């Protein structure tokens, strides 16, 4: 039997486009001799559809897509994830299901049991868990169809769930497992995913055909990397990262371990780079925008964003605005200009001094006898934000936010100033990782002027200002932040690791008192296991470690 | 037996303060002859604690509070909601529990079964549901202790859950029910809540002592309104709305229906008014701020916010900034000034023309040959936003956002301009409700100058501009928005109600394409059943009705 795994990039709620894409892949798979073509979890509606699931009309349209796919399932079977209605009056109104379509109709629907409700996932918000488990018989094979998380309660030491749907399916003695997933990217997640799938194969002594989403849905990035595993857990093939594609596997060849290509290399910084480029590209493409704009300061963060944007959208579509003030050093403008020239991006120089002066003129009588301070520093950052938004509005381009994860964490940024933008490109990349990313980008040639990477970081909002005046050294800061944010460690745990007590307490306090700023920032392309945004939900008005 | 219901206003994560408050109420209840004092759901940690629950250290501190309360439970029993750890390795790590403390120790812990995971609720994200149900015996009474939602699967036609924990508890033949809740305010929710509780009493023929939170936790408002019901469903007493308080009820008197005071009146606009005043007050108080600032345009929205802020914080703590431009009409400044004077608030006049000109001067060469339009309109709104933030930074005051729900819905507002602010005061109040609220405020005297209420709404960003140039009449717009946002109706449903098809399609499209703006706005004080913010989760990059 030939099974085509189609890791596709769909668009949330875009039923017509998603259907057309699946019909096209179905025709292609059929032409290439596939017996089954497999699409990911909730492929009809995109993942995550979020509260659109509360609209009956949205559910109706998803059902219509499944029916149209069923009609196309002639001479080939289609396995596809979609929603289905719960016919019982009690419980949530929907199931997250996988459909087996063949002979022009729906042959089998299996619902998902384990509903991820953590981090970015909200599945219990919408779905009722499965209470029955079956298999489907097709071409003399018995197939267990599984949705994503249902394979994730195998081989864990601290399982999140009390039941294991895989065990229940095995009562029907399937010959193979097909898993349709929406498993988001994080730089250390692909390795974990393979371990979990291997544990399934080994436990049940069955091969697995696993298909994942690819592409970005706002902040959530899917890497694809669909996998075929032998019954002994050997990785037969791993499909491309960050690229829509389809591959066809012959089940006998898989069982005989013919053509084992094995796993792809997983280098953290390269994965982050490729994930972000895809994230930018899809954010613009799916919103119907082409052009980006950003403020280029001469620092490393905006330099990185410029490079990543140029790679995602083409240098022609990225416009850099240099906005020097009286506190900007000469090298800032020169470095920024050199970068724009290296990339081949349009750049404009728009000094902000006259704007700043206009603000201070009207504010002077009201600020009488007050010392200069934060308000004045923020005004500079905000004058830049407003100029960028004016360009954005005038030319129909989206402003890219250039804040990194370290400064977002501790609130080292100006709300409505440098925190402006429609998309946070590197908001899930710590400053120390920004340096790694810059060096990765420069590995073959000096794309980012070396001086941008080597000079000490500065906001340049007052004379001789450096980040190190207000913040601990980034290597220490980032290590503490990682332990608190990604690993949810307590202050005492982190101090016990050898970090300075004052540094730890101050850092955690800064994280917690700056929740109000993060609440109002753009969606952050998620590359780690714990990104700011929908996967980290904190109250603003709280008093904890603050 | 005397039962004290203590509807208290706690602070998320502020363990020391929450413990002190509960010890104080316990002492008071004891002094007044209470046998039991009851505190709300998760009273130790505040509701909702959100992802702080993922921190072991946070859980440890909650457990410590329960133990300290247990020590104080001598000569009086304490019923209190808190978290508890799941000792089983499988499943979520925590339970949402109610504790019965007496004789200096924990006598009984009952976990919550039905975990609300919809709208603003995320309980399945953190908690394992109960699998066992018991009662507690105290002073010859058998008591069923219930957490909030566990009473909500009774009497519903479309129950959200498959099991009914109340039925299970009844197997132990309790004499009365104590329910500890965190049931948020919405203007039509209190009536629904009473119906549900009545259905419980009637079904089980038992009296219910129901205690709720009061106070604001960021955007979520709790109205208190704790209730005692007779076994036949009669409301014996309803405690005050929006006010911390404790009342003691004698169970024999309740059973005999002595002293029936019945329900409070529930007038929508008055409830919204009082809820918002409490919301502002708690937002500032719990963050440790005193002073508010806002832009007063002469329109109805900012006028309302000024009044509500003055009532919450005192007129002395509210500063109004009038920022006229060349497009401002004379009456705008005069009306705004008259309002500030009526309220007794400080006001400043800061014209924006010179700032606008400074922007346009530096932008002119870049905007060459482009027509004036949205970019220029937005610049005015943004110059105002920046001025307000400068005042906020300089004087340590929080900027209040003045957007209403209608304009937030359709994106009729400028990001980083009039959408600035730390708290959205009326972001859950439709424009037509703003008029009702203004008339309610003026019912005894003209607090808001009449001209502000009667003149046609205008953003005044270009000559002779009126909201009605860009938007449908507010009565129609708000009715369509309500059907879509609160009632999740489809376009066809709404058209079938008699609304114009073009109007409906345009409105729904505007709602959906403006998700990116709402993503970056301040938390909205929630007064309806569906507010923008944490209770309405939509993807930005989607293609549905857009």
Residues of B in contact with A287 (CB under 8 A): 540-541
Q: What are phi and psi of B95, to 5 degrees?
A: -120, 150
pLDDT at B292: 98
For residue B523, is it within any domain?
no
Distance between CA B120 and CA B134 in Å, rounded? Answer: 29
Q: Does residue B148 carry a catalytic annotation?
A: yes
Both B86 and B195 in one domain: the answer is yes
First vs last C-alpha separation in chain B: 60
**Average pLDDT value for chain A:** 96
Residue A469 has pLDDT above 90, yes or no: no
- Supply the residues of A annotated as catalytic: 41, 112, 148
**pLDDT band (50, 70, 90) for residue A377:** very high
**Residues A307-315, mean pLDDT to the nearest whole number:** 98
Both A292 and A437 in one domain: the answer is yes
Both B217 and B324 in one domain: the answer is no
Residue B460 has pLDDT above 90, yes or no: no
Residue A471 has pLDDT above 80, yes or no: yes
Mark which of A266, A286, A304 sits at the end of a domain: A266
* Radius of gyration, alpha carbons of chain A: 26
Contact (CB, 8 A) for A118 and B53: no
For residue B536, is it within any domain?
no
**Residues A380-398, mean pLDDT to the nearest whole number:** 98
Residue B462 has pLDDT above 90, yes or no: no
Residues of B in contact with A115 (CB under 8 A): 124
Distance between CA A401 and CA A380 in Å, rounded? Answer: 16
**Average pLDDT value for chain B:** 96
What's the domain count of chain B? Answer: 2
Closest CA to A530 of A479, A474, A481, A472: A481
Q: How many helices (H) and strands (E) does chain A have?
A: 18, 19
Both B299 and B189 in one domain: the answer is no
Closest CA to A386 of B380, B327, B370: B380
Contact (CB, 8 A) for A216 and A222: yes
**Which three-class secondary structure state does DSSP give residue A530?**
coil
Both B137 and B52 in one domain: the answer is yes
pLDDT at B535: 97
- pLDDT tens digit string along B41-87? 999 999 999 999 999 999 999 999 999 999 999 999 999 999 999 99
Both A197 and A323 in one domain: the answer is no
Closest CA to B211 of B174, B258, B249: B249
> The tokens of B14 are what?
């502020």
For residue B399, is it within any domain?
yes
pLDDT at A254: 98
Number of other CB atoms surrounding residue B23 within 10 Å: 16
3-state SS of A81-102? EEEEECCCCCCCCEEEEEEEEE
Residue B155 has pLDDT above 80, yes or no: no
Both A177 and A95 in one domain: the answer is yes
For residue B77, is it within any domain?
yes
Q: What is the DSSP string of A133-191?
A: ---EEETTEEEEEEEGGGGTTSS-SS-S-S--HHHHHHTT--SEEEEE---B--TTHHH
**pLDDT band (50, 70, 90) for residue B163:** confident
- Give B253→chain A minimum CA distance, Å: 38
pLDDT at B463: 86
**Residues A315-325, mean pLDDT to the nearest whole number:** 97
B102 or A469, which is more confident: B102
3-state SS of A361-426? HHHCCCCCCCCCCHHHHHHHHHHHHHHHHHHHHHHCCEEEECCCHHHHHHCCCCCCCCCCCCEECC
pLDDT at A209: 98
Query: Which is catalytic among the residues B21, B112, B198, B281?
Result: B112
CB contact under 8 A, B11 and A287: no
Range of the domain at B169: 2-260
Contact (CB, 8 A) for B6 and B178: no
For residue A543, is it within any domain?
no
pLDDT at A259: 87
Helices (H), B205-267: 251-256
CB contact under 8 A, A542 and B14: yes
- pLDDT tens digit string along A532-546? 999 999 999 999 999
The pairing of strands A36-38 and A2-7 is: parallel
| B271 touches A at CB < 8 Å | no
Contact (CB, 8 A) for B354 and A361: yes
For residue B15, is it within any domain?
yes
pLDDT at A492: 96
Residue B241 has pLDDT above 80, yes or no: yes
DSSP code at position B532: S
Contact (CB, 8 A) for B279 and B401: no
Q: In percent, how much of chain A has pLDDT > 90?
A: 91
**pLDDT band (50, 70, 90) for residue A165:** very high
Residue B289 has pLDDT above 80, yes or no: yes
Both A239 and A364 in one domain: the answer is no
Q: Does residue B112 carry a catalytic annotation?
A: yes
- pLDDT tens digit string along A480-531? 999 999 999 999 999 999 999 999 999 999 999 999 999 999 999 999 999 9
CB contact under 8 A, A520 and B516: no
> The tokens of A326 are what?
């009286």
| B536 touches A at CB < 8 Å | yes
Ramachandran class of B189: left when φ > 0, alpha when ψ lies in -120 to 50, beta otherwise = alpha
For residue B478, is it within any domain?
no
**pLDDT band (50, 70, 90) for residue A89:** confident
Mark which of A266, A292, A311 sits at the end of a domain: A266
Residues 454-493 of B with CB under 8 A from A: 488, 490-493
Residue A452 has pLDDT above 90, yes or no: yes
Q: For A51, which of B124, B537, B546 is closest by C-beta distance?
A: B537
| A116 touches B at CB < 8 Å | no
CB contact under 8 A, A363 and B416: no
Q: What is the CATH number of the domain that holds A146?
A: 3.60.110.10
ipTM for the assembly: 0.96
Closest CA to B82 of B107, B103, B102, B61: B61
pLDDT at B438: 98
**Residues A53-59, mean pLDDT to the nearest whole number:** 97
Contacts of A515 (CB under 8 A, 6+ apart): A538, A539, A540, A542
**Residues A128-133, mean pLDDT to the nearest whole number:** 96
Q: What is the CATH number of the domain that holds B414?
A: 3.40.50.620
Both B180 and B236 in one domain: the answer is yes
**Residues A274-291, mean pLDDT to the nearest whole number:** 98
Both B209 and B279 in one domain: the answer is no
pLDDT at A399: 98
CB contact under 8 A, A522 and B520: yes
Contact (CB, 8 A) for B17 and A543: yes
Residues of B in contact with A546 (CB under 8 A): 13
**pLDDT band (50, 70, 90) for residue A154:** confident
**Residues B377-393, mean pLDDT to the nearest whole number:** 97
Q: Please state, in angstroms and as integers, the Cα–Cα distance from residue B73 to each residue in A46, A94, B211, following that order.
A: 53, 45, 19
Contacts of B498 (CB under 8 A, 6+ apart): none
Distance between CA B222 and CA B243 in Å, rounded? Answer: 10
**pLDDT band (50, 70, 90) for residue A329:** confident
Q: Which residue of B has its CA nearest to A372?
A: B394
Closest CA to B37 of B82, B83, B69: B69
For residue A434, is it within any domain?
yes
Contact (CB, 8 A) for B209 and B38: yes
Distance between CA A35 and CA B118 in Å, rounded? Answer: 40
Mark which of B260, B284, B300 sits at the end of a domain: B260
Both A202 and A309 in one domain: the answer is no
> The tokens of B524 are what?
């909205």
- Give A363→chain B minimum CA distance, Å: 8
Ramachandran class of A416: left when φ > 0, alpha when ψ lies in -120 to 50, beta otherwise = left
The pairing of strands A214-217 and A208-211 is: unpaired
| B443 touches A at CB < 8 Å | no
Asked if omega into B212 is within 30° of 0 (cis), the reply is no
DSSP code at position A471: S
Residues of B in contact with A65 (CB under 8 A): none
Residues composing chain A: 546
Both A309 and A235 in one domain: the answer is no
| B342 touches A at CB < 8 Å | no
- pLDDT tens digit string along A167-208? 999 999 999 999 999 999 999 999 999 999 999 999 999 999
The pairing of strands A2-7 and B398-401 is: unpaired
Contacts of B500 (CB under 8 A, 6+ apart): B476
Q: For A366, which of B217, B348, B493 is closest by C-beta distance?
A: B348
Distance between CA A290 and CA B346 in Å, rounded? Answer: 47
Closest CA to A145 of A181, A95, A185: A181
Contacts of B56 (CB under 8 A, 6+ apart): A488, A490
- Give A248→chain B minimum CA distance, Å: 30
Burial of residue B501, with CB atoms counted within 10 A of its CB: 0-12 exposed, 13-18 middle, 19 or more buried = exposed
pLDDT at B160: 87
């Amino acid at each position: 039997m030939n099974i085509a795994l189609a890791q596709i990039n769909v668009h949330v709620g875009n039923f017509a486009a998603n259907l057309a894409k699946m019909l096209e892949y179905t025709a292609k798979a059929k032409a290439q001799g596939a017996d089954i073509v497999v699409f990911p979890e909730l492929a009809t509606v995109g993942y995550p559809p979020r509260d659109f699931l509360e609209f009956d009309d949205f559910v109706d349209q998803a059902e219509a897509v499944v029916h149209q796919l069923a009609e196309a399932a002639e001479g080939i079977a289609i396995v596809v994830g979609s929603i289905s209605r719960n016919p019982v009056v009690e419980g949530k109104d929907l199931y997250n299901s996988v459909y087996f379509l063949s002979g022009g109709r729906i042959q089998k629907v299996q619902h998902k049991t384990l509903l991820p409700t953590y981090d970015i996932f909200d599945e219990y918000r919408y779905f009722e868990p499965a209470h029955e488990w079956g298999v489907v018989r097709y071409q003399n094979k018995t197939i267990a169809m599984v949705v994503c998380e249902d394979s994730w309660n195998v081989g864990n030491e601290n399982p999140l769930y009390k039941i294991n749907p895989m065990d229940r399916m095995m009562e029907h003695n399937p010959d193979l497992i097909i898993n349709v997933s929406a498993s988001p990217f994080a730089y250390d997640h692909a390795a974990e995913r393979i371990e979990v799938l291997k544990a399934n194969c080994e436990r049940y002594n069955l091969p697995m055909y696993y298909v994942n989403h690819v592409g970005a849905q706002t902040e959530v990035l899917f890497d694809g990397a669909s996998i075929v595993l032998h019954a002994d857990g050997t990785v037969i093939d791993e499909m491309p990262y960050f690229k829509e594609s389809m591959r066809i596997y012959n089940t006998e060849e898989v069982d005989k371990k013919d053509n084992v290509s094995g796993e792809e290399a997983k280098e953290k910084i390269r994965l982050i780079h490729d994930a972000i480029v895809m994230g930018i590209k899809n954010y613009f493409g799916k919103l119907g925008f082409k052009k980006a704009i950003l403020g280029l300061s001469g620092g490393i963060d905006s330099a990185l964003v410029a490079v990543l944007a140029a790679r995602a959208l083409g240098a022609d579509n990225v416009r850099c605005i240099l906005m020097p003030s009286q506190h900007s050093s000469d090298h800032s403008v020169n470095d920024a200009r050199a970068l724009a020239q290296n990339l081949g991006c349009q750049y404009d120089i728009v000094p902000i001094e006259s704007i700043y002066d206009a603000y201070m003129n009207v504010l002077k009588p009201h600020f009488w006898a007050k010392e200069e301070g934060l308000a004045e520093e923020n005004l500079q950052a905000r004058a830049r934000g407003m100029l960028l938004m004016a360009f954005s509005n005038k030319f129909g381009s989206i402003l890219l936010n250039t804040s990194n994860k370290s400064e977002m964490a501790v609130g080292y940024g100006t709300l409505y100033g440098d925190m402006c933008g429609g998309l946070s490109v590197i908001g899930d990349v710590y400053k120390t990782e920004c340096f790694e990313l810059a060096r990765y980008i420069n590995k073959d040639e000096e794309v980012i002027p070396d001086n941008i990477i080597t000079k000490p970081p500065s906001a340049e909002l007052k004379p001789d200002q450096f980040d190190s005046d207000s913040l601990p050294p980034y290597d220490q800061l980032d290590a503490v932040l990682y332990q608190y944010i990604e690993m949810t460690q307590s202050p005492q745990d982190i101090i016990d690791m050898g970090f300075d007590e004052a540094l730890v307490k101050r850092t955690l306090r800064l994280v917690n008192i700056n929740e109000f700023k993060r609440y109002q920032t753009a969606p952050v392309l998620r590359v780690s296991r714990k990104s700011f945004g929908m996967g980290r939900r904190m109250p603003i008005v709280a008093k904890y470690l603050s």
